[in-house]
Amino acid sequence: MADHSVPPQSFPLCDNVHTGRHGGPNLAAWRARTARSLSRSRTACWRSLVSLLTLVEGRLALEVGLVGREGMVGVALALGIGVSPVRALVQGSGTALRMNAARFRKELQRSAPLQRELYRYTHSLMAQITQTAACNRFHRVPARLARWLLMTRDRVRSGQFYLTHEFLAHMLGVRRVGVTEAASAL
């Protein structure tokens, strides 16, 4: 697969952020952060695996998007909106690039190529969210799990990544036993 990610040297004003040494998300801390359904967009991040989550009545509903090397968290910023209807959860360890929201807006105004790439990425993210919604509605858990694992593999560029059945159940909006049964069917 060709690398269509934005090279880090394109963003000299970004700060490198290390998201941790150990693989796998901290589910307890993540649950504590999901109390609000809207999140203020403060930064843009690239080069990490991030789940975009939707919440219903303050509770986790499910993952609606997955962002990796190909994109960014903070699409709302690129569209001039300060609040996002999704929560972002970094999955595992790695390095990301982060830019202050005000600085990001300035760079976006100055750079037509950056605007063009982010608008294209926004379109592809919308297509992914649409496909995810259809998959969640029409496919059984094994097919949804397979799609999720393949999307993750594409983004981390490895066949190995640390995930628990409990975490996958939250991402897919199913019970943990459903993930266990689906994994044995794959």
Indicate the number of domains in the chain: 1
Whether 65 maps to a domain, the answer reads: yes
What CATH number corresponds to the domain at position 23? 2.60.120.10
Whether 96 maps to a domain, the answer reads: yes
Whether 162 maps to a domain, the answer reads: no
Whether 115 maps to a domain, the answer reads: yes
Stretch 17-25: mean pLDDT: 43
* Percent helix, strand and coil across the chain, each to the nearest 5: 45, 20, 35
Whether 114 maps to a domain, the answer reads: yes
Pairwise CA distance, residues 184 & 186, whole Å: 6
pLDDT in tens, 151-185: 988 888 878 877 889 889 988 889 999 999 999 99
Stretch 97-124: mean pLDDT: 86
Say whether 186 sits in a helix, a strand or coil: coil
Whether 55 maps to a domain, the answer reads: yes
pTM: 0.74
Q: Which domain holds residue 35?
A: 8-138
Pairwise CA distance, residues 186 & 178, whole Å: 12
Whether 149 maps to a domain, the answer reads: no
Whether 1 maps to a domain, the answer reads: no
